[in-house]
Structure 1
Amino acid sequence: HGRCALTSWMEARALRKENAKAIGQWLPHWDVRQMLFKATGGDVKKWYWYLHHIMWADRITIRKGTGCSPYFMVTGAHPTLPLDVQEATWLVQYPKEIMKTEELIALRAQALAKHTEHVEAMRQRVTKEKERRAAQLEESNRAKIKTYDFKPGDLVLVKNSAIEMSADRKMKLRYLGPMVVITRSKGGAYILAEMDGSRIELPQNLKDMIDVSPETLIELQDDEDISELHDLDLGMGHSDSE
């Protein structure tokens, strides 16, 4: 810059339109400044909080001139933000109209720069929603949902798995019984007996059993072998989750 010889005022020379090189040196920096201004909500003193995320979002945003992002031009793959759908739509409020590129990048930078309190608040909201839906499902299916925890003396029916591969299985009994629960082993399998007390040696899995009458309880005689059966691990521990 020079100064006027008469007034000593600084003289400025406007950039000419054909001087694209000079314009290209400062225009991208102006765009970044506008992005930071939008991301900080006008509080430019916090620019360093969002600079990293602004540069990240700028590299993964589609350019109007090329139709793809710089990330895609370098790697050949479309970028994916490390946010799930609920986080991405909850952390920022997108307008209902077309916005400028710097505004879009600023909003993406805000989503990337999510803070701990935002994530914690979001988790609490999701947890409450899960609990509400679980309670609603349990209430609406109260007559269908049952927790089977058979006790010694309970009457149960056992699925007749021997006929599953039979061609005429529709004409045969699907369940056998009733039978009496003797005990449950550490592995999760149940030891059953016939109504006359004859013990069935083959342990039964919980998923193959249904209760006959929850109000009916058969009195069992004391047997020294019952405690030994209870301590066995018959390898059916997964039955509880079935």
Structure 2
Amino acid sequence: MNQSIVEGINARLGRYGRNWLEEFPSFLWAIRTTENTSHGKTAYSIIFGSEAIIPAEIGVNSKRVRNINEESNDSEVLLNLDPLKEAREQAVIEEARYKKKLEAFYNTRVRKEVFKLRDLVLSNNEAIRQFDTRKLGPKWEGPYVIKEAHSGGSYKLNDMEGKKVPHHWSGMHIRKFIV
């Protein structure tokens, strides 16, 4: 969400973002009234149970603006509360389904490698930031020796002198050391 706000500020006001505070409510309004990709609903509709009337629509004589009855509006909003709970639960289910699809898509490109005991490997320093590498520092550390292999693809490592390396290492954060 923060990234979306920063991108909106940069797009609208340029890199330096002068007067961003005056524009901030319009960024939030845009985020709250934009459909979420994962479940197809806006944040506003999930919270209030109906779509927002955008400020530009108020000045225009649209059907939604003409049909507002302020006296019965409160009772109509209360009628939306029961279906609203169901809509929120459905949005959570849809979002979970979307994330599962996204995960499956990205995992098709992941090459799973199974390591055996005593294999020599390098560990990805960026994964845990064990060492301060700065910009031009090494991305891989090692070599290390696989000491234990656990189910689910995690490993315990020792350095070349036999000293334990902290953390469990995922197979995604180590790679085979080729001499």
**TM-score with structure 1 setting the length:** 0.34
Which is higher, the Rg of structure 1 or of structure 2? Answer: 1
